[in-house]
Structure 1
Amino acid sequence: RILRAPGGNVIKVVWGGTWDPILAQDKDGFLVERMEAALDGDYQRYTISPGEYIREHFFGTRPEIQKMVENHTDEELEKLARGGHDSEKVYAAYKAAVENTGSPTVILAKTIKGYGLGEAGEGKNITHQQKKLNEEELKRFRTRFYIPITDQEIRRAPFYRPAPDSPEMKYLRERRDALGGTIPKRTVRAKPLRKIPERVFEEFKKASGSKRKVATTMVIVHMLSRLMRDRDIGDLIVPIVPDEARTFGMESLFRQVGIYSSVGQLYEPVDADTLLYYKEAKDGQILEEGITEAGSMSSFIAAGTAYSTHGINTIPFFIYYSMFGFQRIGDLIWAAADMKCRGFMVGGTAGRTTLAGEGLQHQDGNSHHFAYAYPNLKAYDPAFSYEIAVIVRDGIKRMYQDGEEIFYYITVMNERYVQPAMPEGVEEGIIKGMYRFASSLLKDSGKKVHLFGSGAIMNEVLWAREVLESGYGVPTDVWSITSYKELYQDAKEAERWNRLNPGEKRRKSYISECMEGEDGVFVAATDYLKSLPDSISAYFPKPLVSLGTDGFGRSDTREALRDFFEVDYRHIAIAALHELAREGRIDEETVSEAISEFGIDRGKPNPAVT
């Protein structure tokens, strides 16, 4: 019913042909009623039971059913087959599926666990642990499936290959030829994009202005709007949202491109009298799936693999609450990776402390950790609009011009702040994972600090720099970490090459290149778990001190949350001062005074365990 409801073509292959003459006698539906009443465990039991047991316990429940098999021997009852093991039924179902048009087909086939193993495992719970068969079990398997191997050969359990001119081998070769050859391969029919709309991205590399505060969620939506207006790739953009689109400020797209509906607008929306009303259309471009991340991810996979399946370079942007991605649909994301899907997954309202008042259910401090597990997924946590522009532009080029089999995860926030202009020469660093955002103008007096920020916590890092320089005379450089995963993978790759190539010139990681000649202390702050910066700590000149949001989320203001998780500018400054004191560059009294001056509660519970 579930599959038929949306218009699917469902073919059931439940019972084999040996059941047909029995079912033909079932004029009153008693047999079908019995079939539906029997449980899965009952059917598993019948699989391994003698015909006498089947006659008594299955057919013997009422006289009308028992009479249907009175002319069947017990051996014949044992051979009553399930539909999935009847080659003629399976072929008929497959033929019907191939010939069906206009709707997807699902074949539901009933089979037996461990079919063909006989006493060794057919219909038994031990089937998955069965590693080998003894000689007698092998003989029974051979005889059952008509495999021409002698008793003398069977003890060696040899492979059997039919003769080249046998019907089986001819059929297999014909099918492989029809499928394109003996080795499975993906045929990409989509042609690379001719050009990328550079002007769209240039707009986001400029400063927003001192009075205009913009959230990065707004940036990505505005960028989508611009991309969809582009004459070259506009029709290829597929915005996907698993919630009310207004959650992510996407209402501006309603009037521009509309929400896709196969039947169009069948009702008058409650906001019909507003400029940005809820517009549904048959040619709508937004896929608003309702509250189903799984359904939305399925749409993402369909659009992200269209370059291969349909020869169309559709570019999906799947925007969702970042907490509800990897945790809810990690298996589908893994499937997307396995299918060499392309596109952009955008984790909105990201970070543990940016979504004020939403509590532990929504506050994401772990999605970038999950991203590490997906080999061909690029994961970025940008802080500024120009970083997003560089990442998205590079992603479109790599996926849709260069043909790289990768896809992207980008986190964006709903916190508004002034967006700076892009500094010169930072594009490469943004893509590789880090770059120096600001250099100190103070003279290095032996107490240099390097602060590393990203995403939601970048502004806290910048404020910490002001405190350290103006309040304590500590020269402080600020680095933007756009991707811990890129840095980690690059460092591991250099490490691996050096291990496997002794005697060759050693390769340096990108982190090592950036940190060459740098001294001082190193402090990283993130809106994710401390283990995120910890993953690259080994590649710095000195240990990297990590501040992060370990623990459950809380419902409170951003300021209170960042204080609670100890990632606000005060805790960042204290971490830097503490490291300077630990190295003997300042005295510990300075740190103690700073803690008191900042009003930090020394006795507060550890947020990671409360």
Structure 2
Amino acid sequence: SDEQLQKLRRGGHDYRKLYAAYATATELRDVPVVILAKTVKGWAVPGSEARNVTHQMKKLSVEELKRFRDRLELPIKDEDISEGVAPYHHPGMDSKEIQYLLARRHALGGLLPERRVVPKTIELPERGLYSQFDSGSKQPVSTTMAFVRLLRDLLRDEHIGRRIVPIIPDEARTFGMESLFPQFKIYAAQGQLYEPVDAAHLLAYVESKDGQILEEGITEAGSMAAFTAAATSYATHGEPMVPFFTFYSMFGFQRIGDLIWSLADQRGRGFLLGATHGRTTLNGEGLQHQDGHSLLLASTNPACLAYDPAFAYEVATIVRDGLRRMYEERQDVFYYLTLYNENYAMPEMPEGVEEGILRGLYRFREGPEHRRHAAQILASGPFLQQALRARDILADEHDVSAGVWSATSYQQLRLDALETDRWNRLHPEEARREPYLARALGPQEGPVVSVSDSMKAVPDQIARWVQAPFVSLGTDGFGRSDTREALRRHFEVDAEHIVVATLSALAEMGEVKPETVSDAIRGYGIDPDRTTPSVA
């Protein structure tokens, strides 16, 4: 009848149908289960069903509350409903409903929700796996290739190798990962069902039912789902896995930032690798690919440790410490590392720099002796090469001794400084503490110039704690297709612009004459009246 049809509830509003659906779902095995529950917005609220006004409904009249009660079949008397106030109904502690709820809560560990994780100890690789990167390489390589070598060795490690989960959302060859195909293979549930076009090649595309590499295709969202599953497996399955998700850096925090935020909320652990990073280093691919802001976005995530390494030994040191923190100390954090595709000789690891690498800053090379002026240059990623060239120009042509520092993480420097400020603020009678940044830079002389392949806002994170005059150079603006040299001149971050920025800061301090800066601008072919790069 019409009356019966009107009373017939949709699936999502009928507790019997919901119970039956969940009961069936829990009995199924070895297949994915999806429950589709159709509902109506504002259901049971008189005059508001399937209407947008539901979102603004703040109060119901007495008559509306009675109709609401009748629709939900609640045992509430008319006299208990007054002035539009809905009374609280409790069916009684001995009722089936309350007993069922209590039984479920006790089965889950108690009345307060609790995340219960059974810790499982895993043996991490020995120091020797990483020490190979300490000696550097005469052959020019990129930090991307250094990471791939490290990943390969981690996959081969007898202790942790089977727990490593390489994840790639696009063609692995983009990142030079084809060397992993023959030994570790690409996971495919049905095995390899076709002959790839590169079948005759030594490093052919190999799929297997027991493959270890997750080659997801062009879907960063799908890849992030796989990463999250592996990153939380220590809690959901009691099996710690170590995911390494390598992607075009532009398509990470910018494209799936919400999913990365969810990962942090779920206390995921693992490594995100923003490959082909840099507004000028990834040359020739234009504004859609050239990334100069992901480090800034990464710094907004409370669980993320963001690093911008320049050398192979820095990558190895950060990964080693990340494994220790996440899988030995069981800290609920994850790591974001930028990787670049610019090749240059990797230097040996200087003595005593491990703490500086992890805390965000260390002096890579001292300035030349017996110079009239002094300055400090902070550089990240491939821009250590530009900083070193600027150091030579400043020494040879301008009588300036510039120390060169590797800034591996402005985020970590900032967090340490903020925590130090907080401690000092809340302990006014105690001896004041000094942030790591101040201790590192404090004894040095001259202005501080920072340069990277990211926006100026990245190094600007530490500006308030730098006591000397501070100048940041960066790649603000859209990327564009050109050579690296042309792009770095365009964004005013090449060695010559570092020199001019250093001289300008010295002039502000009264160390050199303004005419010296003007001469340098003309001498290096810099147009002082061109449009600023951020809007060019």
Question: 1:403: which partner in 2?
Answer: 330
Question: 2:35: which partner in 1?
Answer: 107
Question: 1:323: which partner in 2?
Answer: 250
Question: 1:373: which partner in 2?
Answer: 300
Measure how far apart 1:79 and its partner are.
Answer: 3.0
- Asked if the contact 2:371/2:395 (under 8 Å) is kept, the reply is no
Between 1 and 2, higher relative CO (CA 8 Å, sep ≥ 6) is seen in: 2
Question: 1:87: which partner in 2?
Answer: 15
Question: 2:112: which partner in 1?
Answer: 183
SS of 2:137 mapped into structure 1: coil
2:271 to 344, 361, 367: 344
Question: 1:206: which partner in 2?
Answer: 135
SS of 1:475 mapped into structure 2: strand
Post-superposition CA distance 1:234-278 (Å, at most 9, x none): 111111101111110001101121111111122222222222111
Structure 2: unaligned runs, 5 residues or longer? none
Whole-Å separation in 2 of the counterparts to 1:450 and 1:218: 30
Question: Aligned pair 1:248/2:178, yes or no?
Answer: no
Measure how far apart 1:501 and its partner are.
Answer: 3.1
Measure how far apart 1:505 and its partner are.
Answer: 2.6
SS of 1:607 mapped into structure 2: coil
AA at the equivalent of 1:98: T
Question: Cα 1:491–1:127, aligned 2, differ >3 Å: closer, same or farther?
Answer: farther
The CA RMSD measured in Å over matched residues stands at 1.7
AA at the equivalent of 1:411: T
Question: Cα 1:414–1:180, aligned 2, differ >3 Å: closer, same or farther?
Answer: same
Whole-Å separation in 2 of the counterparts to 1:138 and 1:394: 59
1:270 to 197, 205, 213: 197
Question: Aligned pair 1:72/2:2, yes or no?
Answer: yes
Question: 1:604: which partner in 2?
Answer: 530
2:394 to 468, 471, 496: 468
Measure how far apart 1:77 and its partner are.
Answer: 4.6
Question: 1:118: which partner in 2?
Answer: 46
Measure how far apart 1:515 and its partner are.
Answer: 2.2
- Asked if the contact 2:123/2:160 (under 8 Å) is kept, the reply is no
Q: Identify which range, 265-274 or 447-456, moves more after superposition.
A: 265-274
Whole-Å separation in 2 of the counterparts to 1:141 and 1:501: 56
1:412 to 339, 351, 354: 339
Question: 2:165: which partner in 1?
Answer: 238
Question: Cα 1:129–1:544, aligned 2, differ >3 Å: closer, same or farther?
Answer: farther
- Asked if the contact 1:138/1:154 (under 8 Å) is kept, the reply is no
Question: 2:376: which partner in 1?
Answer: 450
Question: Cα 1:173–1:286, aligned 2, differ >3 Å: closer, same or farther?
Answer: same
Measure how far apart 1:157 and its partner are.
Answer: 4.7
Whole-Å separation in 1 of the counterparts to 2:414 and 2:191: 47
SS of 1:110 mapped into structure 2: coil
Post-superposition CA distance 1:526-548 (Å, at most 9, x none): 11111111121001103421111
TM-score relative to the length of structure 1: 0.84
- Asked if the contact 1:243/1:291 (under 8 Å) is kept, the reply is yes
Structure 1: unaligned runs, 5 residues or longer? 1-70
Whole-Å separation in 1 of the counterparts to 2:370 and 2:42: 75
1:197 to 121, 126, 133: 126
Question: 1:540: which partner in 2?
Answer: 466
AA at the equivalent of 1:449: A
Question: 1:312: which partner in 2?
Answer: 239
Whole-Å separation in 2 of the counterparts to 1:437 and 1:558: 24
SS of 2:22 mapped into structure 1: helix
Whole-Å separation in 1 of the counterparts to 2:88 and 2:498: 65
- Asked if the contact 2:367/2:391 (under 8 Å) is kept, the reply is no
SS of 2:224 mapped into structure 1: helix
Q: Higher Cα Rg: structure 1 or 2? A: 1
Question: 1:31: which partner in 2?
Answer: none
1:151 to 53, 59, 79: 79
TM-score relative to the length of structure 2: 0.96
Post-superposition CA distance 1:322-354 (Å, at most 9, x none): 001111111111111111111101011001011
Q: How many residues align?
A: 534
2:419 to 486, 490, 493: 493
Measure how far apart 1:369 and its partner are.
Answer: 1.0
Whole-Å separation in 1 of the counterparts to 2:141 and 2:178: 16
- Asked if the contact 2:249/2:275 (under 8 Å) is kept, the reply is yes
SS of 1:101 mapped into structure 2: coil
Question: Aligned pair 1:515/2:471, yes or no?
Answer: no
1:582 to 488, 492, 508: 508
Question: 2:150: which partner in 1?
Answer: 223
Question: Cα 1:373–1:147, aligned 2, differ >3 Å: closer, same or farther?
Answer: farther
SS of 1:600 mapped into structure 2: coil
Question: Aligned pair 1:335/2:272, yes or no?
Answer: no
Deviating 4+ runs (over 6 angstroms): none
Question: 2:26: which partner in 1?
Answer: 98
Measure how far apart 1:406 and its partner are.
Answer: 0.4
Question: Aligned pair 1:483/2:413, yes or no?
Answer: no
Measure how far apart 1:139 and its partner are.
Answer: 4.2
Whole-Å separation in 2 of the counterparts to 1:214 and 1:224: 15
- Asked if the contact 2:377/2:448 (under 8 Å) is kept, the reply is yes
Whole-Å separation in 2 of the counterparts to 1:205 and 1:505: 38
Measure how far apart 1:150 and its partner are.
Answer: 6.2
Measure how far apart 1:154 and its partner are.
Answer: 4.8
Measure how far apart 1:128 and its partner are.
Answer: 2.3
Measure how far apart 1:319 and its partner are.
Answer: 0.6
Q: Identify which range, 387-396 or 130-139, moves more after superposition.
A: 130-139
- Asked if the contact 2:62/2:81 (under 8 Å) is kept, the reply is no
AA at the equivalent of 1:101: R
Whole-Å separation in 2 of the counterparts to 1:350 and 1:133: 56
Whole-Å separation in 2 of the counterparts to 1:472 and 1:149: 91
Measure how far apart 1:143 and its partner are.
Answer: 4.3
Whole-Å separation in 2 of the counterparts to 1:109 and 1:293: 28
Measure how far apart 1:149 and its partner are.
Answer: 6.3
Post-superposition CA distance 1:94-149 (Å, at most 9, x none): 11111111111111111011223323x43220222334445544444344431536
Post-superposition CA distance 1:170-198 (Å, at most 9, x none): 01011112222222222223412233332
1:359 to 262, 269, 286: 286
Question: 1:59: which partner in 2?
Answer: none
Question: Cα 1:426–1:78, aligned 2, differ >3 Å: closer, same or farther?
Answer: same
1:280 to 197, 207, 215: 207
- Asked if the contact 2:65/2:81 (under 8 Å) is kept, the reply is no
- Asked if the contact 1:238/1:303 (under 8 Å) is kept, the reply is yes
